[in-house]
């Protein structure tokens, strides 16, 4: 097995391509966040229903993850990721011509489904190709790319919606994502530590079962479920309080406000380097604390304090996701890595769909403060999972030492 070391030409190409791939994926997946309140007004929808533009895509993405692992082993990692990104870009372009909300949801569902081909395989590709010592750094680059992509998607869509229309905005974003996808396909090195296999439902089912049998992996799945759900709930509906008194920001101003979310993209790489020195459970507690503080700060009526809160919340989430996703590869055995990564992402995106939708209900009944208290309660549960996982690892290490003696 030839694992890539930091600084090699192939390592740099993978870093560049994973940045492009995650940028394209998350730009396509989350651009509607700045348009949810516009869809609610234009189509006369409740916040929760308008939020389906996010939830529908993440739900079908989660469903697609159940099948991606089956075809990835037969088609190859690079081919699966490249085809996924290109088709998702095309569906994004087509969605720009949606005449009504129902058609928009249809294209969003198709888009989410094909994006599962990239999101499920990317983590496995990295864990197979990059040396474990530097996997945390590479996961940091991947997650940072997701933050950059989500920001770029929101800014492009927000600005062009103000000057033209949301149809034009989505079309331009689709073209941008298609360009990123083509560059990704051209520059990404082929897998060196992967051997193609046959399509086998039996092997797929056995791998999925192994992914559920490991109790430690279940804690990580739970972290992913809550982390993205809380993140999506906050940024899905932040446009509602920002567009009203005391802020009363325009659509363009709301879009550019997400630049402060981009400021959190430093955290995945920074915390990724710390995993080489400190325990993941300790770092996870730190990231959860950052998100808790940031979420509470968005309750302030002062825009400056709210902005600092967004930075802290985004930094905590991105670092937490980077730690948890890398933890999957460290916890699962070599036969289970692909399936465990898919299951982590399955829970991750189901959390996005369910908790993101639930946030709309809390907003309707309890206002913005209700959304924040919901998020804080969920983040505390995530901390509980991290503590339990840390204890499980310590017990396992003691057993290994006892057996060795």
Q: Which CATH superfamily is domain 9-190+203-404 in?
A: MFS general substrate transporter like domains (1.20.1250.20)
DSSP count for the chain of H helices, then E strands: 17, 0
* Helix, strand, coil % in the chain, rounded to nearest 5: 85, 0, 15
pLDDT at site 278: 82
C-beta pairs of 43-48 under 8 Å, 24+ apart in sequence: 43/100, 43/101, 45/101, 46/360, 46/364, 47/237, 47/240, 47/360, 47/363, 47/364, 48/357, 48/360, 48/361, 48/363, 48/364
CA 146 distance to own-chain centroid: 7
Alpha-carbon span 72 to 274, nearest angstrom: 31
Q: For the stretch 176-193, what's the b/e string if a residue is b when 16 or more beta carbons lie within 10 angstroms of its beta carbon?
A: bbbebbbbbbeebeebee
Alpha-carbon span 206 to 159, nearest angstrom: 48
Alpha-carbon span 312 to 309, nearest angstrom: 5
Q: Which residues contact 348 (CB under 8 A, 6 or more apart)?
A: 62, 221, 224, 225, 227, 228, 321
Alpha-carbon span 176 to 83, nearest angstrom: 16
CB atoms within 10 A of CB 283: 21
Express each pLDDT in 227-281 by its tens digit: 989 998 998 888 889 888 888 887 777 777 767 666 677 787 788 778 778 888 8
pLDDT at site 398: 42
pLDDT at site 369: 95
Structure tokens at 111: 């888009």
CB atoms within 10 A of CB 216: 16
Rg, Å, the chain Cα set: 20
Residue labelled with tokens 């992913």: 224
Closest CA to 254 of 159, 368, 163: 159
pLDDT at site 148: 80
Closest CA to 30 of 203, 151, 211: 151
pLDDT at site 243: 83
pLDDT at site 401: 41
Alpha-carbon span 115 to 58, nearest angstrom: 9
pLDDT at site 199: 59
363 contacts 241 by C-beta, under 8 angstroms: no
Q: Which residues contact 186 (CB under 8 A, 6 or more apart)?
A: none
Alpha-carbon span 170 to 131, nearest angstrom: 38
Closest CA to 327 of 218, 230, 204: 218
Closest CA to 63 of 385, 400, 347: 347
Q: What DSSP state is assigned to residue 82?
A: H
pLDDT at site 194: 63
Q: Which residues pair with 329 in a beta bridge?
A: none
Alpha-carbon span 86 to 193, nearest angstrom: 24
Alpha-carbon span 253 to 276, nearest angstrom: 39
pLDDT at site 403: 44
pLDDT at site 280: 82
CA 182 distance to own-chain centroid: 21
The pLDDT averaged over each successive group of 10 residues in the chain (405 residues) is: 64 87 90 84 85 88 79 78 95 91 94 90 80 72 78 83 88 94 90 65 79 89 94 88 86 72 74 80 93 96 92 91 82 78 85 88 93 96 90 56 45
Quickly list H helices, 214-258: 215-237, 239-242, 251-257
């Amino acid at each position: 097995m030839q694992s890539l070391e930091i600084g090699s030409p192939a390592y740099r190409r993978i870093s560049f391509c994973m940045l492009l791939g995650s940028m394209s994926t998350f730009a396509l997946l989350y651009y509607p966040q700045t348009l949810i309140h516009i869809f609610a007004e234009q189509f006369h929808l409740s916040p929760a229903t308008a939020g389906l533009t996010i939830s529908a895509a993440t739900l079908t993405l989660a469903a697609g993850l159940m099948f991606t692992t089956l075809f990835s082993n037969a088609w190859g990692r690079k081919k699966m990721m490249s085809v996924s990104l290109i088709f998702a870009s095309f569906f994004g372009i087509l969605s720009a011509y949606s005449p009504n909300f129902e058609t928009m949801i249809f294209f969003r569902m198709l888009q989410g489904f094909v994006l599962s081909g990239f999101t499920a395989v990317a983590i496995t590709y990295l864990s197979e190709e990059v040396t474990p010592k530097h996997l945390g750094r590479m996961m940091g680059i991947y997650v940072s790319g997701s933050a950059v992509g989500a920001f770029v998607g929101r800014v492009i869509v927000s600005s062009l919606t103000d000057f033209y229309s949301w149809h034009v905005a989505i079309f331009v974003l689709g073209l941008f994502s298609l360009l990123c996808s083509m560059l990704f396909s051209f520059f990404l090195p082929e897998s060196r530590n992967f051997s193609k296999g046959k399509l086998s439902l039996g092997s797929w089912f056995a791998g999925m079962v192994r992914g559920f049998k490991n109790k430690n992996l279940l804690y990580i799945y739970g972290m992913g479920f809550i982390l993205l759900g809380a993140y999506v709930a906050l940024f899905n509906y932040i446009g509602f309080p920002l567009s009203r008194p005391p802020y009363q920001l325009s659509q363009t101003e709301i879009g550019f406000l997400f630049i402060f979310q981009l400021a959190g993209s430093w955290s995945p790489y920074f915390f990724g380097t710390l995993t080489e020195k400190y325990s993941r459970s300790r770092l996870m507690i730190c990231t959860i604390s950052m998100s808790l503080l940031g979420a509470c700060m968005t309750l302030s009526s002062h825009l400056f304090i709210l902005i600092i809160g967004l930075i802290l919340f985004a930094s905590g989430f991105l670092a937490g996701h980077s730690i948890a996703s890398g933890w999957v590869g460290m916890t699962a055995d070599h036969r289970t890595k692909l399936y465990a990564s898919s299951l982590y992402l399955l829970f991750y995106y189901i959390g996005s769909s369910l908790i993101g939708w639930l946030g709309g209900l809390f907003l309707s009944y309890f206002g913005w403060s209700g959304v924040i208290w919901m998020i804080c309660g969920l983040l505390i549960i995530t901390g509980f999972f991290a503590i339990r996982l840390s204890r499980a690892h310590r017990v396992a290490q003691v057993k290994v030492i006892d057996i060795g003696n």
